[in-house]
Amino acid sequence: KIKMVLGHLQRKNFEQIQAGTAHFIPEQYVHMLPDTGYLSAIQNAIVGKNILRIEYENNNGEHSTREVEPIGLTFYSLNWHLIAWCHLRNDYRDFRTSRIQHLAATMMPFRKTDHMTLEEYLKIMEETLVRETT
């Protein structure tokens, strides 16, 4: 219903956000949802195809600064995850948004022009997980 009242450009942006967001939230865990402070900025970067600069703390407590090209957001394991092309690693990476210490929108356009979709990335990850567990 919301899409019907939006203008053409707004509807297109809404559809891009929708296509770039996946979530799997079991009802019994809704009350445990994490802080979503950076989600709006990430969604804007996805739609605008702009590079983000993030300060990130990995699961070992190590800090790094990354420039990333976000392709989508997904929710699993009770956390939002930013899926993005990482310039430092020259590969797609999965960043838990709760571990992002600082985020800045650079307004610089993506350098890589042939990104996979979030759906394609998730399918590859699912296939990898199945192979590793069988």
Cross-strand pairs, 49: none
pLDDT for the residue 37: 75
Reported as a single tens digit per residue, the pLDDT across 57-72 is 999 999 999 999 999 9
What is the C-alpha to C-alpha distance for residues 105 and 31, in angstroms, rounded to an integer? 29
pLDDT for the residue 79: 86
pLDDT for the residue 30: 57
Domains of the chain: 2-133 (2.30.30.520)
What does the DSSP assignment read for 42-79? HHHHHHHTEEEEEEEE-TTS-EEEEEEEEEEEEEETTE
Reported as a single tens digit per residue, the pLDDT across 75-93 is 888 888 999 999 999 999 9
Q: What is the mean pLDDT of residues 26-41?
A: 69
CB neighbours of 49 closer than 8 A, spacing ≥ 6?
Answer: 69, 109, 110
Report field, pTM of the whole predicted structure over 0.95: no
